[in-house]
Amino acid sequence: MGILDFLTGKGKAAPAPAGATDNAAAPAEALMKELKSYGFDVSGVDIEVDGRKVTLNGAVNSREEMEKIVLTVGNTKGVAQIENNLVAPDADPENPSGVYVVVQGDTLWKIAKDHYGDGARYREIFEANKPMLKDPDKIYPGLRLRIPGGNGGAAPAS
């Protein structure tokens, strides 16, 4: 739970659900459709949109799913802030997955080397961010990624 800030002025690579603009998030229905397209069970999720801020309420099946839903919505065009009020049965607020903000020049290999000491572990980061990521070579500055088992060492979001 909490509030997360996301990069504004996302590039062309960011998902852009119907109705999303540079200055406003897509309507709740479009964000819900986006989440369903990734296969998330959002039957217990309610979405509220107020300009660039999105509030997520309800319950999900796991901490992993909760983190993926938050990052999927936050990485879409027009979203600058997420208020996460989702609950998960296995959520541990004292030990969340790390979150890393991609910067220019990053690759999943470099991120894995920085966080795990071994670039070959990039697949762990890729798998932790599926289905949002479909190709390990398609990341872009400002994208927030889950870093399993790490504190993220996130670069500051602007």
pLDDT digits (tens, 9 = 90+) for 78-109: 999 999 999 988 766 666 678 899 999 999 99
CA gap 25, 49 in Å, rounded: 7
Contact 74, 144 (CB under 8 A): yes
Structure tokens at 149: 């088992």
For residue 30, give the 3-state DSSP assignment. helix
pLDDT score at 152: 47
Share of the chain above pLDDT 90, in %: 59
pLDDT confidence tier of residue 59, bands split at 50, 70 and 90: very high
| C-alpha closest to that of 69 among 99, 100, 40, 102 | 40
Residue 140 has pLDDT above 80, yes or no: yes
* Domains of the chain as residue ranges with CATH: 2-10+17-87 (3.30.70.1770), 98-147 (3.10.350.10)
Residue 126 has pLDDT above 80, yes or no: yes
More confident residue, 157 or 37: 37
Average pLDDT of the residues in 115-135: 93
